[in-house]
Structure formats: structure tokens, C-alpha cells
Amino acid sequence: LLEWLSKSNESQVERLLHNPHGFGSLSRRHSRKPIIAAVDGLCLGGGMELILNCDLVVATEKSTFGLPEVSKGVIASQGGIPRLLYQSGRVLASELLLLGKPISASEALDRFRIINRVVPTSDALLPTALELAKQIISNSPSAVQLTK
């Protein structure tokens, strides 16, 4: 699959990235508003593909992330592969994709860089996500849209 991505032309990769039939149509990154995810627990497969499409991700320490599809005989076909390659780089993406093993929230933050914040408990999760949202809305709406 990594070989296919390296040989694919831009339109093939774009179709994969912007597939309108992905999970909840979130595969399309054309939202004018920032998307913030709050993860409290398992974030595997489709859930992981969803957070890879979010602008900001907050997770609890107990959260785990992964794309275990390879261990089930399928692939992460909703845009997760190219997004992970873009966000984490080929070496780390290959590790996550080819081994199919979950990673901890701290690894997702520090090593793979696919989330923005780790909070200690569920009680801190939504307040942290809302604080990020407040910081965003304190900025110029048009500047936020153009930056996104």
C-alpha cells in the first residue's frame, strides 16, 4: 500500500483523502469550522480515521489509538493511511499500519503526533476541548477559516 501511495498520482490520493462516503462524511476536509475531537477510551479503526481528520484532538490518559485493520485482513480505507503518513511520517505510519498494534495516548501525543493534548481524567476532557474552542473563537472568524 505504501508503494501504491508513492506511485499514485495526486488525483488518486486526493480521491482517497476526500472520499465523501467516509465515516460520517468526515473524510472530506472541507469544513469551514475547526473540528475538535475528545477521546475517552478506545479509538481504533474508524474512530482513529475520524480523529486523523480532526483539527485538534484531546484525549484522556487511558485512551488507546490504532489502525488494527491489517490484523483483520482489511485496510484503513477511509483516508486514514495517507493522513497518518502526512501527520506522522512514513516510518512511524508504517509501524502503526503494518503491526496493527494499539498505542497509548502519550505515544499518540509525543511520538506519533496525532493528538494535541492528554488530560489525566474524563472530568478534564470536555473542559479542555472547550477551552481550545474558546481560544479559537477569540480569533478572527475569517482568519480561522482561511488558515484552516
Is pLDDT larger for residue 115 or for residue 148? 115
Q: What is the pTM of this model?
A: 0.81
Determine which of 12-16, 45-49, 100-104, 141-145 has the lowest per-residue pLDDT on average: 12-16
pLDDT for 19 equals: 55
* CA contacts within 13 A on the Cβ side of 78: 22
Comparing C-alpha atoms, which of 65, 68, 76 is closest to residue 110? 65
> Does the pLDDT at position 11 exceed 80?
no
Domain total in the chain: 1
Confidence at 81, pLDDT banded by 50, 70, 90:
confident
> Does the pLDDT at position 14 exceed 80?
no
Confidence at 23, pLDDT banded by 50, 70, 90:
low
Domain that holds residue 29: 2-147
Beta bridge partners of 103: 65
Q: How far is CA 32 from CA 113, 123, 136, 144, 147, in A?
A: 23, 29, 13, 9, 10
Share of the chain above pLDDT 70, in %: 80
pLDDT digits (tens, 9 = 90+) for 85-143: 999 999 999 999 999 999 999 999 999 999 999 999 999 999 999 999 999 999 999 99
What are 133's three cell numbers? 474552542
83 φ, ψ (degrees, to nearest 5): -65, -45
Residues known to be catalytic: 49, 69
The CATH number for 78's domain is: 3.90.226.10
pLDDT for 77 equals: 77
Residue the block writes with cell 501525543:
109
pLDDT digits (tens, 9 = 90+) for 129-141: 999 999 999 999 9
